Structure 1
Amino acid sequence: MTKTKKLINAPEDIIPQLIRGMVAAHPDMLTVEGGTGRAIVAVDGPRDGKVGIVIGGGSGHEPAFAGYVGRGLADAAAVGNIFASPSPEQILDAARASDGGAGVLFLYGNYTGDVMNFTMAAEELEAAGTRVRQVQVADDVASAPRDRRSERRGIAGDFFVFKIAGAAADLGEPLARVEALAQKANDATLSMGVALGACSLPQTGKPNFEIGDDEMEIGMGLHGEPGIRREKLAPADQVTDELLDAILTEMAPATGDRVAVLVNGLGSTSLVELYIIFDRLKQVLDQRGVEIHHSWVGEYATSLEMAGASITLMKLDDELTQLLDHPCRTPALTVGAVEGAAAGSARSARKTAQATDAPTKAQAMTDLKRDGAITPAIFRAMMHRAGDDIIAERDWLSELDGVIGDGDHGVTMEIGWKAVQGALSNAPDNETIEGNCKRMAKAFLDAVGASSGPLYATAFLRAGAAVSDRLNLDPPALAAWLAAALQGVRDRGRAEPGDKTMIDAWAPAVDRAQQAALSGSERDVIMAARDGAEQGMKATAELESRRGRSAKLGARSIGHIDPGAASTWVILRAMAAALEEAKTTV
């Protein structure tokens, strides 16, 4: 496969350099706040007494999300890795910078990773006394039928929902009202897209899906997720009609209704093509007697260098029209003339104060059970080996994900496990396995975000808590560690066996481990878990996905191994190999 070309430096430096360049290009509008360096904040947006608007998501969609930070729109954006949700700590930095005492509204696309990470951040803010509301944008008509609209993903409709919520907050509306108006905009907004060519992740340099020279994917997701069907490439008018038909059938505008229109390029589609699409779109709406109140044509929510476009319509009433026309000034969108911020924009010290980590309490070593072959040192070696094997299998995991997802699973797991390895390298020699697990959870969550961050962080925390009374792990304790990790993933992700997720590898791994723990050694337990995970991973190929991004594919997901199940097997395989090696050297 031909490698793609990008004007980047080291792949691991992409996000910091992106943020520095963006803020440097717009110093009158943007700044960075918070210890993570991932919260881009409006210079004159947040202010006391105003609801804070926090948006965010993965990078690679520029100008979304940080391009919509500025006066009259979003107060801050949390910036995730490429195609991956920001972590809770990154979201918290954005929220603290935006909090003017009137509460904070989180707005983001309806993706599993974003929902998990923003919800974890909301829980922490609420525990500290800040009122938080959330609206998940769900405008993509291709991703679920009308009666399951809450399952739809957010694509370019973010543009309109952010605009309406930002205007409402700028006008001084209270939190509940801003939330209601954002949801009203969400309910009034529908999108449909088409892809003509793939994008490629900077870390792999490979297209994240394959499509023929004469083919197009109808209903493509913003991360390269396959659409609802693949067809032969058709003329622009025919494609426009197909996209519009799905939107207008559901929206059912009457003669005299008004809409706002966004014709959005996905990264490498020329304005020539986008204006041709708009030309046909206007003909259709004119024929129906539907008025275009305002239109935008260009790149507003991209997918790296993907070829293709999306159409978004928001059905307007007087209230939404007024908010749509309200002035704002951001790098990606300016509407009207924005008045100066004046002195009222100065934020109180409590909003810009950085959160500090709570002091870690040294765990008492007395009374811990010391029987068992797996010492903290051996446990750390097992985790280091898991990271090594994940890194070695990165491309394979990403290729699996490219078939039924967005192609970044291997990259995401590599980032997370490298962070785990770094954290464990700094762990004191006498730190317990529970302490190691807490360290791993924070490192993974802070580094990754995405759906993997909350899932693995919860797994590590639960697993560590399950063996908090032990210094070393014996066979039953190792099985308990694995079982608690599984339960953590199930509780956080709400997936069950048969949903075609990592649970389908974890569940048989734990079942076999618990059986082996009845009479076997630590080695027997982890080997049983490894074999169970392999069996479960292979079985996912026959399952139809019911959770996550691949759930939108339906029967098209059958025949492909789930990447989360595959990475679970890689981790347990590595743990088994490391324990085997440790026993031969003791």
Structure 2
Amino acid sequence: MKKLINDPRTVVPDMLGGAVALAPAQARLAAENVVVQHPLRPLETRPVAVLSGGGSGHEPAHAGYVGTGMLTAAVAGDVFTSPSTDAVLAGIEAVAGPAGALLIVKNYTGDRLNFGLAAEIARGAGTPVEIVVVADDVALHETVPKARRRGIAGTVLVHKVAGAAAATGLPLETVARLARAAAQDVGSMGIGLEPCIVPAAGKAGFQLGDDEIELGLGIHGEPGVRRGPMQPADALVTTMLDAIIGDIGLGAGERCVLLVNGLGGTPPMELDIVAGLALGQLRARGVAVERAWRGTLLSALDMRGCSLSLMKVDDERLALLDAPTAAPAWPGSGRLNPQPLLPARLSPERTAPDAPLTPAMQQFRAAVLAAARALEEAEPHLTELDARAGDGDLGASLARGAAAIRALPDAAWSGPAPALSAIGNAMRRAIGGSSGPFYATGLLRAARRLGDGAATPKEAAIAFAAAVAAVADLGGGGEGDRTMLDALFPAARAMAESAARGGTLGQSLASAASAAEQGAAATAQMVPRLGRASYLGQRALGVEDGGAVAVALWLRALADVTGE
């Protein structure tokens, strides 16, 4: 286990100390793990105080939601452990005025007991207190009665509704009624891809196979309701939405808000994918999504996974969700983009009219498609090479480029120059990172060196050399830098020498491929001087450069077909 902590026994106060230091409108109670709004209004004029909390490990919940318009105070226990009754009572006494306090409690035994006892003591001291219990985990619908379900990420939406209602000055009974109704109308379900690690334990609470996930899990590192196979994101979103919609009775034409919540170890990329899929599926079901939020809002330490929450809304509840708040972790307005897609407005490319391909161009296309196929088949190998000395995207990038080449229309193959231009433009659109610009630049430069007719071996060698020079100019590199140029430069020399001796195009390409293979093999003993691999220095030794290997692969495929 590797975690950025000092001592597992002090993670909660250490965490709260850092969080509050970054939140000017918050303060922490001395000797208690309680975060409160600061400054507070004078006691007699305070609105209903809204408090929540629970075990730590759910950050940014709950302290992140302390701020005007949301929580008045948050009470933190140890990791995945309910806070004590005294801590909850200290929070109530610190923030509640004559208007009283509302406690929002996730439905776990320890939280209900300690918040409930603190509420009873506070009532005995004269403070009006109401409790709202959130039990939104719909995955438990076949396991336990609804009143005994867990409270998970939908709790954040209840915080927002209650906090906004309290901020308007409504009485305690009304704030509690609105919060209870919100809790009744929210449903959530989570999935776990990998378990979390509790600091004090130092190891995962359960183990998953490479192709296994947990479905219907809580937020305390526990396994889910059932274990199943890993599936594409759209299938997992369907599973979660089916369960939530069926439980809360959300039908076509009804209105809701959506919360896409990461469990702590899920990157924004994946949460955005899930959000887009959920919005699309809800639209297909005829459900009107009024607002949607995406982020890590109520986590389970570093668990990989996510949850979806849906809450029914009407105009009154939506206004409370839209009300402003100063809580630092609230993720914003949640308003959806009414026009997320615009036409690219690219100028149409000029292509030759459709005409039967000449035998020479048929062979040219066959050779190029063979090169594309070689890159697709080599995707795992190129990915492995690039991952050992770079960012691991080379195989997938070149496979996308290969697919773009195969998709070119017949009109693109009217001659060598138009074909090279079309290939270059297809690759620049299909490939991100550095490979796309490099290949596109080289191909476009080569196209300009060729005429409209068939190229002689010497003309092809000159065009190839021009392409290599263009790549070198663009990247500012040369031989010995451990890049694709270490295969391209030897190939260009070999091709020119073969053509000068009177070799055929197939023979010249075969010489170029052999030279490229030797150049790629030599990169394993080069210290990289350019690109991401240069950050590794001596650690890159022993691994061939993926870009150079790719050059050797497609050159060999070109040579094999052309030589036939």
TM-score, normalised to structure 2, is 0.57
Residues 211 and 239 (structure 1 numbering): CA distance in 2 closer, same or farther, change over 3 Å?
same
Tell which structure's C-alpha radius of gyration is larger: 2
Conserved? CA contact 2:214–2:224, under 8 Å:
yes
How far apart in 1 are the matches of 2:205 and 2:138? 23
What is the Cα deviation at residue 210 of structure 1? 1.3
- Superposed CA deviations along residues 175-211 of structure 1, whole A, max 9, x for unmatched, are 1111100001101100000001111111121101111
- When residues 162 and 288 of structure 1 are mapped into structure 2, their CA distance, relative to the original with a 3 A threshold, is same
**Cα-to-partner distance string for 1:417-452 (whole Å, 9 max, x where unaligned):** xxxxxxxxxxxxxxxxxxxxxxxxxxxxxxxxxxxx
8 A Cα contact 2:294 2:331, kept in partner = no
Aligned to 1:329, what secondary structure does the other structure show? coil
Do the aligned partners of 1:266 and 1:307 also contact (CA within 8 Å) in 2? Answer: yes
Distance 2:205 2:123 in 1: 38
Residue 24 of structure 1 deviates from its aligned partner by 0.7
**Counterparts of 2:194 and 2:319 in 1: how far apart (Å)?**
38
Letter in 1 for 2:268: L
Structure 2 equivalent of residue 313 of structure 1: 310
Total equivalences in the alignment: 331
Q: C-alpha displacement at 1:280, in angstroms?
A: 1.3
Is 2:38 aligned against 1:43?
A: yes
Report the residue type matching 2:26 in the other structure: L
Q: 1:305 Cα deviation (Å)?
A: 0.4
| Structure number with higher relative contact order (C-alpha < 8 Å, ≥ 6 residues apart) | 1
Match of 1:59 among 56, 60, 80: 56
The answer (yes or no) to whether the contact 1:31–1:42 under 8 Å persists in 2 is yes
Select which of 191, 203, 207 maps to 2:204. Answer: 207
For residue 254 of structure 1, report the CA deviation from its aligned partner. Answer: 2.9
- 1:164 pairs with 151, 161, 165, which one? 161
SS of the equivalent of 2:223 reads coil
Q: 3-state DSSP class of the match of 1:166? A: helix
- Runs of at least 5 residues in structure 1 that lack an aligned partner in the other structure: 337-586
> TM-score normalized by structure 1?
0.55
Cα distance in 2 for residues equivalent to 1:266 and 1:318: 30
Distance 2:271 2:331 in 1: 20
Question: For the residues of structure 2 that align with 1:208 and 1:81, how far apart are their CA atoms?
Answer: 17
**C-alpha separation between the residues in 2 aligned to 1:177 and 1:334?**
26
Aligned-partner Cα distance in 2 for 1:23–1:46 = 19
| 1:147–1:111 distance in 2 versus 1, CA, 3 Å | closer
Q: Which one of the candidate residues 66, 69, 73 is aligned to 1:72? A: 69
Deviation at 1:70, TM superposition (A): 0.3
Instruction: Please give the per-residue CA displacement for 1:94-134, whole angstroms capped at 9, x wherever unaligned.
Output: 11121121111111210000001001111111111111110
Q: CA deviation at 1:37?
A: 2.3
Q: Match of 1:268, SS?
A: coil
Residue aligning to 1:184: 181
SS at match of 1:328: coil
Contact 2:256–2:290 (CA under 8 A) maintained in structure 1: yes
> What is the percent sequence identity of the aligned residues?
44
- The answer to whether the Cα contact below 8 Å between 1:46 and 1:97 also exists between their aligned partners in 2 is no
Structure 2: give runs of 5+ residues left out of the alignment: 334-564
The secondary structure found in structure 1 opposite 2:69 is coil
Match of 2:26 in 1: 30
The one-letter code matched in structure 1 to 2:178 is L
Paired with 1:144 and 1:90, the residues of 2 have a C-alpha distance of: 32
Q: CA deviation at 1:46?
A: 5.4
1:200 maps to a residue whose letter is I
Offset of 1:143 from its aligned partner?
2.2
User: Cα–Cα, structure 1 residues 267 and 335, in superposed 2: closer, same or farther, change >3 Å?
Assistant: closer
Q: CA deviation at 1:335?
A: 4.8
Contact 1:156/1:300 (CA < 8 Å) preserved in 2? yes
Query: Pick from 262, 265, 269: which aligns with 2:259?
Result: 262
The answer to whether the 8 Å contact 1:156/1:301 transfers is yes
Deviation at 1:225, TM superposition (A): 2.0
Cα gap change, 1:46 to 1:311, in 2 (>3 Å)? farther
- Residue 332 of structure 1, aligned match among 298, 308, 329: 329
Q: Which moved more, 1:220-229 or 1:295-304?
A: 220-229
Q: 1:60–1:46: structure 2 CA closer, same or farther, 3 Å change rule?
A: farther
SS of the aligned residue for 2:140 comes to coil
Correspondence list, 1:481-520, <5 A: none
8 Å CA contact retained: 1:218, 1:227: yes
Equivalent position to 1:124, from 121, 124, 142: 121
CA RMSD, 1 decimal: 1.5
Task: Describe the SS at the equivalent of 2:253.
Answer: coil
SS of residue matched to 2:83: coil
DSSP 3-state at the match of 1:142:
helix
Q: CA offsets, 1:255-295, max 9 Å, x none? A: 33211111000011111111111111111111122121111
